[in-house]
Amino acid sequence: MDHTEEIVIVGAGIAGLAVAVGLHRKGLGSVVLESSDKLRAAGFALTVWGNAWRALDALGVGDSLRRNHLRLQTAVVSSASSASLVTKLPAKEHEVRCVRRNLLVEALAGELPHGTIRYSSKVVAMEDSGESKLLHLADGSTLKAKVVIGCDGINSVVSKCLGLKPSTFSGRHAARGFTVLPNGHGMKPEIRHYNGEGFRAGVLPCDEKSLYWFFTWASNEEKERIHDALKLKEFVLGKLKASEIPGQVVEIIEKSELSSVASASLRYRSPLNLLSGNICKGNTCVTGDAFHPMTPDLGQGGCLALEDGVVLARCLGDALCGGGNGEEEHRNRRVEEALKEYEKARKWRAFRLVVGSYAFGFVQESGNWFLRLVRERILAGFMVEWLFIAASFDCGKL
Ligand SMILES: Cc1cc2nc3c(=O)[nH]c(=O)nc-3n(C[C@H](O)[C@H](O)[C@H](O)COP(=O)(O)OP(=O)(O)OC[C@H]3O[C@@H](n4cnc5c(N)ncnc54)[C@H](O)[C@@H]3O)c2cc1C
């Protein structure tokens, strides 16, 4: 039997790294098991809203990321069918930046003591072993852990062990891409969104030379996802050229290298399962997409994972650092109480965003004439305001 670890985190994505850094700052060590042989940064970039900047500051990496990313000043929404401006809202006090995923995970991982992340360590199963958990790895080895935190994403093994249901296909797919223009892109520091009939598109600058773009569309079957980058790019360009989206945006996508274009099927956790299911049980819990997979319409999945990390590290840190080690039984009870406190703090926040994101995407992407009318004439300003409302949350300090 291998060694028993105090705290094992499964997955070194945004969620797992945020918890590990938070625990480290609270004086608690952990082991992070990552299935890949290096840090993964699937998806190129993501919108990081004010709520996540507060979490990144609590984790101590906010300023280093700010230095490499432009602060976006305005959200501009236009119709893809008529090219007309639907709404334009200044971000004002809200801090929004489009952050390169590799820089984000590297910044977090850089805060951890050497050897914390164990690569090529894929967890395939988990079982009870007295008061601890026994983790089975793909290479046949096992690891015993007193506390297990599942941050293993949308197909989480840990959430399955907690009895949570698999995520649900939303009936939509996404294409994402990244374009680097060595001489600069000249685009204003704006979030630009285009609502079409049955699709949405957007483009956001990360810095002076690089831009992130996305395109989401409705699709009946999950198996219709386009894996081949060339076909995916051609599909997106075909849709955009048939719309009234400005040539400048089309050109940005045309200039993406095929290695910087990827697809994803959009999945979410059913809100009922989120409320009735176990986010934690005994000494095990989940964070990030393992907890609350959601459609990307509010751009909040990764931001919420950062908030989770701060709240969970605070709960566990306060429980384990303050009261001395005590007897094992008392220690286990303190862990259970800390995880319950985390669950209580996070469930409704996650519920609101999973539901909000789905509803937002449904209205924004709908081709139905009535919904289009409502969205463009009545709800236009409110829809953008909604993005800022979701971002006004403060998860507090560690
Ligand atoms: C199209 C699209 C656009 C998005 N845009 C935004 C946005 O603008 N803003 C935003 O905040 N969010 C956005 N999101 C959501 C965001 O990408 C996710 O919420 C975020 O990446 C979740 O991080 P995570 O660490 O929970 O999961 P992941 O990023 O999936 O990381 C999980 C990690 O665990 C590892 N792993 C998996 N299984 C195992 C295992 N069994 N054993 C060991 N390791 C394992 C994986 O290799 C991976 O490194 C978007 C999502 C999509 C699909």
Of 393, 396, 257, whose CA–CA distance to 317 is shortest?
Answer: 396
Q: Is the CB of 307 under 6 A from ligand 1?
A: no
Residue 1 pLDDT more than 60? no
CA 373 / ligand 1 centre spacing (Å): 34
Out of 24-28, 264-268, 357-361, pick the least confident. Answer: 357-361
- Which of 8, 32, 33, 35 maximizes ligand 1 atoms within 8 Å of its Cβ, making it the mutation to test the pocket? 35
Q: Relative to the CA of 301, which ligand 1 atom is closest?
A: 19
Q: End-to-end CA distance of the chain, in Å? A: 35
Q: Is the CB of 292 under 6 A from ligand 1?
A: no
pLDDT of residue 367: 74
User: For a pLDDT cut of 90, what percent of the chain falls above it?
Assistant: 84
What band does 82 get if pLDDT is binned at 50, 70 and 90? confident
Residue 374 pLDDT more than 90? no
What whole-number distance in Å separates Cα of residue 171 and Cα of residue 220? 6
What band does 322 get if pLDDT is binned at 50, 70 and 90? low
Give me 194's structure tokens. 């285009």
Give me 291's structure tokens. 């907890």
Nearest CA to ligand 1 atom 27: 153
Give me 87's structure tokens. 């709404």
Read off the pLDDT of each residue in 63-90 and give the average, rounded to a whole number: 94
Mean pLDDT estimate for the chain: 94
pLDDT of residue 325: 54
Q: For residue 316, what are the contacts with CB-CB under 8 A and spacing of at least 6?
A: 7, 23, 26, 28, 147, 335, 338, 339, 342
Residue 2 pLDDT more than 60? no
Residue 348 pLDDT more than 60? yes
pLDDT of residue 365: 80
**3-class DSSP state for residue 77?**
strand
Q: Relative to the CA of 157, which ligand 1 atom is closest?
A: 41
How far from the centroid of its chain's Cα atoms is residue 111's Cα? 20
pLDDT of residue 159: 98
* More confident call, 81 vs 280: 280
CA 254 / ligand 1 centre spacing (Å): 26
- Give me the residue label for tokens 């996305």: 214
What whole-number distance in Å separates Cα of residue 46 and Cα of residue 50? 13
Q: Is the CB of 10 under 6 A from ligand 1?
A: yes
Q: For residue 192, what are the contacts with CB-CB under 8 A and spacing of at least 6?
A: 76, 78, 202, 203, 204, 249
pLDDT of residue 15: 98
CA distances from 273 to 337, 345, 357 (A): 22, 17, 16
Residue 379 pLDDT more than 80? no
Q: Is the CB of 274 under 6 A from ligand 1?
A: no
Read off the pLDDT of each residue in 254-278 and give the average, rounded to a whole number: 96
Nearest CA to ligand 1 atom 4: 296
pLDDT of residue 336: 96
Mind listing the pLDDT tens digit for each residue in 178-233? 999 999 999 999 999 998 888 999 999 999 999 999 999 999 899 999 999 999 99
Read off the pLDDT of each residue in 244-270 and give the average, rounded to a whole number: 97
pLDDT of residue 327: 72
Q: Which amino acid appears at position 109 of this protein?
A: A
In DSSP terms, 46 is beta-bridged to 99
CA 37 / ligand 1 centre spacing (Å): 16
What whole-number distance in Å separates Cα of residue 125 and Cα of residue 127? 7
Mind listing the pLDDT tens digit for each residue in 20-58? 999 999 999 999 999 999 999 889 999 999 999 999 999
Read off the pLDDT of each residue in 310-317 and give the average, rounded to a whole number: 98
pLDDT of residue 326: 60
CA distances from 19 to 10, 27, 127, 315, 345 (A): 11, 12, 22, 11, 15
**Percentages of the chain per state (helix, strand, coil), in multiples of 5:** 40, 25, 35
Residue 137 pLDDT more than 80? yes
pLDDT of residue 371: 80
pLDDT of residue 346: 98
Domains contained in the chain, CATH given: 4-390 (3.50.50.60)
Residue 329 pLDDT more than 80? no
- Which of 44, 46, 72, 178 maximizes ligand 1 atoms within 8 Å of its Cβ, making it the mutation to test the pocket? 46
Residue 324 pLDDT more than 80? no
pLDDT of residue 335: 96
Q: Which amino acid appears at position 211 of this protein?
A: L
The pTM assigned to this predicted structure is: 0.97
What whole-number distance in Å separates Cα of residue 3 and Cα of residue 243? 59
The answer to whether 240 and 215 are in contact (CB under 8 A) is yes
Q: Indicate the burial class of 301 (C-beta count within 10 angstroms; 0-12, 13-18, 19 or more).
A: buried
Read off the pLDDT of each residue in 149-163 and give the average, rounded to a whole number: 97
Residue 323 pLDDT more than 70? no
CA 160 / ligand 1 centre spacing (Å): 17
Largest CA distance in the chain: 68
pLDDT of residue 140: 97
What whole-number distance in Å separates Cα of residue 294 and Cα of residue 289? 8
**3-class DSSP state for residue 251?**
helix
Cα-only R_g, the chain: 21
What band does 328 get if pLDDT is binned at 50, 70 and 90? confident
What whole-number distance in Å separates Cα of residue 313 and Cα of residue 397? 10
Exposure string over 144-177, b if 16+ CB within 10 A, otherwise e: bbbbbbbbbbbebbbbbbbebeebebbebbbbbb
* More confident call, 202 vs 365: 202
